[in-house]
Each structure stands twice: as C-alpha cells, then as structure tokens.
Amino acid sequence: MAWEIWFTLAIVATVLVMLATTPAPTEVVLLGAMITLSIVGVISPIQALSGFSSPGVMTIAALYVVIAGLRETGAIAWLSHLVFGRPRSLQSAQAKLMGIGGLLSTVINNTPVVAMFIPIAQDWAARYGFPISRLLMPMNVVVILAGLCTLIGTSTNLAVYGLLQQTRPDVDIGLFDLIWIGLPLTLLGIAYALLFSRRLLPDRQSPITQLENAREYAFQVRIHNGGPLVGRTIAEVGLRNLKSAYVLEIERESRLLTSVGPDEVLCAGDQLTCVGIVDAIKDLRRLPGLSIAEEQGFTMNLRHTQRQLVEIVLSSTSPLINHTVRQSNFRELYGAAIISISREGSRIPGKVGDIEFRPGDTLLVEAGPSFVEKHKHSRDFLLVSALQDSAPPDFRRAPLSFAILLLMIVFATLNWAPLFEASFIAAGLMVATGCLTMQSATRSIEYHIVAGIAASFAMGVALEESGAAALIGRSLVDFAAGNPLLALAALCAVTMLVTELITNNAAGVLMFPIAMSMAELAGADFMPFVITVMVAASMGFVTPIGYQTNLMVYGPGGYRMMDFIRFGLPLKLLCGVVTILIVPRVWPF
C-alpha cells in the first residue's frame, strides 16, 4: 500500500480527533490539513486551493449577503409575524414554529432562520407559559430537515454539489430536485415532534425566567445623603473589588445608569443594584454610608423600560472560552455587564466573576442600544438576541428584498442562470437597492465557515488522489457483499456517525469521494450515493456539536447532553431508514 494512503488517512483521523476533542476553530484545523497535504506532496497546490474556486463555495458566500438583506429589512420577521398569530396550545406553538421555520428554511440557510425564531419562542414561553425546552429543539430539527428540500437550503448541500460539479461537470442537480427526500423527512420530523416531544423533552425554563426566580442573587443598596461615599468613584470606595458581588447598575432619580464603570461618581440617594451571592451582603455592611434593603428577596425589575437585556450564546471560537469572567474583562471588552450565566439548563450559582466560560454558555447581559447591532455578526457569539427590542424594524424595503429572493429562485429554477450567477446577482441587487449597506454585506459573510468548507475540499481530493477513498469504499462494499442497497445503508450509517463528531459541512466533503468510489466498485450509479451523503451529513441531532444550530438553541432552551440523545437518536434512526427506502427509488442504482 502506497505511503500516500496511510499519510492521508492519518491526516483525516487527526482532523476528526481535533474537531471532536479540542477547542481549535474548525477552519484552522482544516486549513492546517490542507497545507500539510500540499507540502508533503499528496496533492498539488492547485488541488489544495480548488475549494476556493468552487462555484458551490462561492454561492454560499453570496447567499450570506442575500440572507442579510432579508434580515436587515425585516422581511423574514415580516413574513413570520404575518402568519403566526397567537398559539392556543403548546402543540399549536410547536406546529407554527416548525411549519413556518421549515418553509423559510427551504430557501434560506437554516442558521439565520433558527436565530430569528429563538426570540419568538422566548416571547411565547414568557407570555403564555410554554416550556421553552419543548419549543426550540423541535423547531431546530425541522428547520434542519426542511433545508434538505432544496439545493440552497443548507450549506452542506451546496458544498457536496460543488464537489459533484468538479468531479462530473456534465451532471447537475435542480434547485428543487431534493424535495423528494427532503419533504418526507420534514413531515416525519414534524409528526415525531408533535407526538413525542412531551415525553422526550424536559419542562425547563429559559435563562431569563431562571434569573427572575433566583431572588437571592440580586439586591439593592442606597447611598446615604451626606455620607462618606458621596462624590467618590466606584473604584475608590471599594465597590469594584467586592469578593462576592459587583455593581450592575445605578438608579439615579429618574435615570438608569447601566454598565457602570469603575470611574462612575456616586451621588446622594443613588440606588445601586448588585448581583452576586447572598454572602456579599456581609461585605457591603462593612461600608459606611450605605444601607441594604432589609428584604433579601428583592427581585430586580428585569422589565425596566430603560434596561436593554441581551441574551448571548458563546461560540467554540470565542476568545472567552476557558477564561473566567474576571480574567476576560468582559465589561471593558464588550461594553456590557453580565447578569447571569446559564449552562445545561441551570443558572450557575456562586460569584459570576469566578465562572469559567465554556462553549454553548448562555449569558444574560445588560448592554447599550448599539450592542446587538455591533456584535450580531461577531464570531465570538452564536446568537445575540435582544430580549427587549423597543425599536421596531424598518419594513419599508421588506417587499423589495423578498422580491429579489423570489427572482433568484425563479432564475435558478427555470435555468435562466446557474445558481452561482443568480445568487451573486441577488446579492448585488440587495446592496444596489439599499436593502443592505456595503459594510453590512461585508460583515454578513461568515468568512470562517466559507474558508473551512473550501479548505475541506483538499481532504476530499487527497482521499481520492492517494487511493484512500477507494480503499475505504472497497471495504464498505465488501462488507455489503456487493449489494448496492447494503452499501448505501453502510455509507448512510458512517456519514451519520461522522457528522456528530465534526461539522456537517466537513462530514459531507469527507464522505463524498468515498461515496463516489463505493458507487464505482458496486457497479452502480453514483447519484443515490451522493444524495445519501447530502442527507446523512445534515442529520446531526444527537450531540450539541452535531450541527451549528444545535449550539444556538442549547443555552436558550436550557438543554443538557442527554436531552439531545433522548430526542435526537430515535429521530436520527427513523430518518436513516426513510432515506435508505426513498433515495434508491428516486435515484435508481
């Protein structure tokens, strides 16, 4: 066996281990693998960089701009609120979230759809008393499955399609060709959620509800008139360095001062809201010139008209990971104050400053009005959602942005222009018509995701060029005794396992050359194998890292690892069976 095979397999194994066990960013790992394979000589530099010239990858970048235009004009919210109405029951709320979310996900990448629907679900949970944990996960899995109905529904579809175009330029997949497998899976997901979510998902509160019920963590102190603290700063009087609490805000006459800095000067009559553990009261009693509320059960008014609360979900690439709140200097870095941190469905007790950040943590912060706009595209956060948004969106250009989206779909569906060209025309129109500024368009592109997908192409090329893909494909075909259906089932099972360990895009790109080799060795047409890889790579329901949107709902929904396994594993197995039954009938061997 040639050394290139062993070396390529070793690189692939290293990538899998690093993506599954280390906090290293996905794109960094994949770019490192690409460079290593090129330097060693397994692939040429041109082959290593082939992903960056792929029409499928560039289409993904253009679609980020199109989606941003829809989001900035409020077109997505306009469409959803137009048809939502008030849910009458939990099942009604689930059906509306899954139905409208699934419909939007067929033509819009599922990540912004989930981001938009999380605040809607939170609002319903707070207003009507629905368990947030029984709203977000069902919505998330249906949005993922509905994305399989069209070629542009998920970036995985486009990544695999890009590889197919490179390998077989004469073969094309229509915009709605995947609906034959995507629609049955979507209907299965909706039925599964409506029937079993009550039994399989817990009844948990959202982080903001947890905080409102955690009365012992918020208390108020008042500055005495003529006392020794008047005219001195927060830092000078020692309030900045409390061992078990910190000053969140100051209520001064009719004003509310948020994100209080160490140089804020105290005035007579100031009412300070502190957040921390109850023992902090002992520290505060030692300070002359302030009094503490006798009732330790004081509940902070989270719905104050002058307060903007924002919920943040930390990404695995955030620089905050593995640092404590105190070490991170969060307030100085982001201009916001942390009120609470929730992990695996529970508010973390103890002093906020001593908590070490982890991926998927949900932070409830108090911030200025520009915080959401400034950080909503930040790689540090998977989700930045204002819990109280007093400024209504400007819907004047919503119909225009929606018309541009429809125009792109029509051009691609009727083959008036390839999807690659249609997406770039739509992106340009979003900017040219004022639906999106050039700055917002530039920020909207998830460059790290695009770079990661493009770099992952190098592994696919290396697997094919070295002969490793043929070796793995031959092993799976031999296991299936030459039966194409059993070989397809083996490919589906392996892809569904791999996608839980690494990103769905990387799983699709990694398994594509193996699928092509299996089809050739089994003497069958390659299309059912390619479609199976597209579908199976998106079935990341069982772990929080199986799909990017899983982490987005992980914190706000108060989920734990076992919740994903309990709800996602049976659905994953059902979807795998349906895939094996339907794909060979629509795309024969």
Highest-pLDDT range among 43-52, 126-135, 487-496, 568-577: 568-577
Torsion of CA 542, 547, 550, 552, to 10 degrees: 170
pLDDT at 235 over 70: yes
Considering all CA atoms of the chain, what is the largest pairwise distance in Å, rounded to the nearest integer?
91
Model confidence pLDDT, tens digit, residues 12-71: 788 877 866 776 777 788 889 889 989 988 888 988 888 888 787 788 788 788 878 887
List the alpha helices (DSSP H) in 389-446. 398-413, 419-432, 438-444
- Which residues 6+ apart lie within 8 Å of 89 measured at CB? none
Are 428 and 65 within 8 A, CB to CB?
no
Average the pLDDT over each of 30-44, 284-298, 526-540 and give the range with the smallest value.
284-298
Instruction: Answer yes or no: is pLDDT of 299 > 50.
Output: no
Residue % of the chain over a pLDDT of 70 = 83
User: What percent of the chain lies above the pLDDT cut of 90?
Assistant: 16
152 vs 450: CA distance, rounded Å: 15
In which band, very low, low, confident or very high, does the pLDDT at 77 lie, cut at 50, 70 and 90? low
Higher-confidence residue of 495 and 64: namely 495
Report, as an integer, the average pLDDT of 474-479.
78
Asked, colleague to colleague, whether 225-288 and 309-386 share their fold, the answer is yes
Give me the pLDDT at residue 283, please. Answer: 66
Q: How high is the mean pLDDT of the chain?
A: 80
> Is 387 a residue whose pLDDT tops 70?
no
CB-based contact 357:326 (threshold 8 Å): no
Looking at residues 295-320, what average pLDDT do you find? 64
Report pLDDT digits (tens) over 98-125.
Answer: 998 898 888 777 766 776 777 678 767 7
pLDDT band at 214 (very low <50, low <70, confident <90, very high): very low
More confident residue, 574 or 372: 574
* Residue from 310, 313, 334, 440 nearest 377 by CA: 440
Inter-residue contact 468 to 105 (CB < 8 Å)? no
- Band of the pLDDT at 216, cuts 50, 70, 90? very low
Which amino acid is present at 80? S
pLDDT at 173 over 50: yes
C-alpha 547/C-alpha 154 separation (Å) is: 11
The CATH code for residues 225-288 is 3.30.70.1450
Instruction: Give CA–CA dist 487/518, Å, rounded.
Output: 7
Confidence of residue 83 (pLDDT cuts 50, 70, 90): low
Q: Give me the pLDDT at residue 109, please.
A: 72
Of the listed ranges 104-108, 249-253, 307-311, 465-469, the least confidently predicted one is 307-311
Q: What is the pLDDT of residue 286?
A: 67
Q: Give CA–CA dist 563/474, Å, rounded.
A: 37
Nearest to 423 by CA among 163, 150, 183, 160: 150
Q: Helices 179-200 and 90-105 meet at what angle, rounded to 10?
A: 150
Return the axis-axis angle of helices 26-40 and 447-466, rounded to nearest 10°.
40
CB-based contacts of 77, cutoff 8 Å, min separation 6? 116, 393
pLDDT for residue 576: 94
Q: Residue 317: what residue type?
A: T
- Max avg pLDDT among 224-228, 284-288, 529-533, 555-559: 529-533
| Minimum mean pLDDT range among 47-51, 144-148, 235-239, 326-330 | 235-239
Q: Where are the beta strands (DSSP E) in 90-180?
A: none
Domain boundaries, the chain: 3-33+60-206+422-586, 225-288, 309-386
pLDDT computed for residue 305 by the predictor: 46
Fold of the CATH domain 309-386: Alpha-Beta Plaits (3.30.70)
Only one residue has tokens 């509310």, namely 256
Give the best-scoring range by mean pLDDT among 118-122, 145-149, 510-514, 541-545: 145-149
CA atoms within 13 Å, Cβ hemisphere of 444: 25
* pLDDT for the residue 143: 93
